[in-house]
Amino acid sequence: MKAVENKSKNTKEQVITGVFFGTLALIILWIYWITQHNVIGSGILAGIFAVAIIIHIFNAQTEGYIKSCFARSDVFKSRSRYYDILRLIACLGVIETHAIQLALSEKLIENKVAVFIYTWLYVICLVCNPIYVALSGGLLLEWKNESIGKFYIKRFIKVIIPLAVYFIFYLCMYKSLPVNIWEAFKLILIKLVSGNTPEAPHFWLIYAILSIYVVVPFFRYLFKHMPYKILSAFALVILFFMTLDVFLPLVYAPIAINTFMSGWIGVAVLGYWITRPESRKYDFRIIIAGGISAVFIAFCIYQNWDFKEICCNTSPVMVLLTGGIFAVILRNSQKEMKKAGPILSLLSKYSYGIILIHWWILRNIKNGFCGIDITSWGYVGGTVVTLICALVMSLFMAFILDNLCVIVVEKGAVNVINCLTNIVTKWQHKIRGVS
């Protein structure tokens, strides 16, 4: 009896899932048709959407699937929220940085005081980059019993595939794709491999994170049995060389020692250090250091110093500011934290897609369907409205692309990988049998 009830419940959820995503797909196809009038493009989209709907209906056999699409499943409800909050802060920082960048580059801000404030805010918001990298270090460098191959495959599916899908979207929107399928494939592959993505210039951050993923499986073994005191000493060495790399060239005395640890990998290691429970005893001092960094950034801008060099992504100034933000959020980790709210969970689930698509959204908000920027309705009002509009629209587009396009490619990649794995496994068994 219970089995029958569960089957009936699952069938109902499958129907709801199919109707929801089917309706969403029809709406998107209609919008695409009335704006582009592209028969071939509409046909391709229809085929992709049809496969996506089938995948969703199949997945909906699992109870609560439709809720998971909106980050409302028990998995998301049970998560501690501090990592979600950090993702949201970084996400807002990325959007705000590029919104201010567009306004400053087009000289929309004329008041000198406003220019100073927005330049300072622009640099402060750049902390989003080291936050993302530090988060990668904090989440991935902790020891996990996971094979190197499994780690790489998982990252490939979760990071590279969405990157490729979103980049194709950019190329389609800018009408940069050749008509010939083979030529289009070569163009996409060459651009993605080389990182030559002027259509989406913000993709450079993803490549920086991918470079960290290359060494993560090996660094896990390095940190597995490393005592906390040694890890802390390592963090201090990294911070020391970051300081030398940034400030010595300013006095025309660049350091001769080339250490790769003073770059993004160093930021990831520092992210791992600050997320350790033992590091909570340093929170107050780190917060103070982060506050001093924010004041120092303002001082650099006021003095017309070369803040782009002093406050680069991997400078100790930005790293300490990142640490201060982490400390403010993580200091509550030892207490009973409230679980992630529905909006926070939803934004966290689609944060990667939001980051990938927000550049196109911002350009269209400014030059397309909205015609607004951070100077609209006054500086404060324009900044808030632009940020909210960009965030909401980016979330909507990320939801569509993730659930109607990315899911198809991911499913195909998983099936291909599983097929190849089975072939290799059978081949190994055969060889062992012969031996």
pLDDT bin (cut points 50, 70, 90) of residue 336 is very low
Q: Write out pLDDT tens, residues 137-155.
A: 999 999 888 888 889 998 8
Q: Write out pLDDT tens, residues 56-66.
A: 999 988 888 88
* Mean pLDDT confidence for 72-79: 64
Q: Is the alpha carbon torsion for 423, 427, 429, 430 positive or negative?
A: positive
Q: Is the alpha carbon torsion for 91, 94, 99, 100 positive or negative?
A: positive
Angle between helices 342-349 and 378-401 (to 10 degrees): 70
The total of other beta-carbon atoms located within 10 Å of residue 325's CB is 23
DSSP 371: -
Domain boundaries, the chain: 1-69, 86-434
Q: Which residues make Cβ contacts (< 8 Å) with residue 350, sequence separation at least 6? A: 395, 398, 399, 402
Output the pLDDT for position 421. 80
Output the pLDDT for position 40. 80
DSSP 280: G
Q: Read off the tokens for 182.
A: 């083979």
pLDDT at 260 over 90: no
Output the pLDDT for position 206. 94
How many Å apart are CA 178 and CA 183, to the nearest integer?
6
**Least confident span in 13-27, 268-282, 320-334, 391-405:** 320-334
Output the pLDDT for position 8. 65
pLDDT bin (cut points 50, 70, 90) of residue 256 is low
Higher per-residue confidence, 343 vs 161: 161
Higher per-residue confidence, 2 vs 378: 378
Higher per-residue confidence, 372 vs 144: 144
pLDDT at 372 over 80: no
Output the pLDDT for position 333. 57
pLDDT bin (cut points 50, 70, 90) of residue 397 is very high
Q: Read off the tokens for 46.
A: 């229809």
pLDDT bin (cut points 50, 70, 90) of residue 204 is very high
Residue 324 CB burial class (10 angstroms; 0-12, 13-18, ≥19) = buried
Say if residues 97 and 126 touch (Cβ distance below 8 Å).
yes
Q: How many CA atoms lie within 13 A of 40 on its CB side?
A: 4
How many Å apart are CA 209 and CA 212, to the nearest integer?
5
pLDDT at 337 over 60: no
Q: Is the alpha carbon torsion for 28, 29, 34, 39 positive or negative?
A: positive
Higher per-residue confidence, 53 vs 341: 53
pLDDT at 435 over 60: no
DSSP 260: G
First to last CA, the chain: 52
Question: In whole numbers, what is the pLDDT of the chain averaged over residues?
Answer: 86
Output the pLDDT for position 70. 87
Going through 286-432 in order, the beta strands assigned E by DSSP cover none
C-alpha separations of 378 from 114, 356, 381 in Å: 11, 28, 5
Find how far residue 55's CA is from the centre of its chain: 24
> What percentage of residues in the chain have a pLDDT greater than 70?
91
CA-nearest of 246, 290, 312, 302 to 119 is: 302
* Mean pLDDT confidence for 397-414: 94
Q: What pTM was computed for the model? A: 0.90
pLDDT at 236 over 60: yes
Say if residues 382 and 374 touch (Cβ distance below 8 Å).
yes
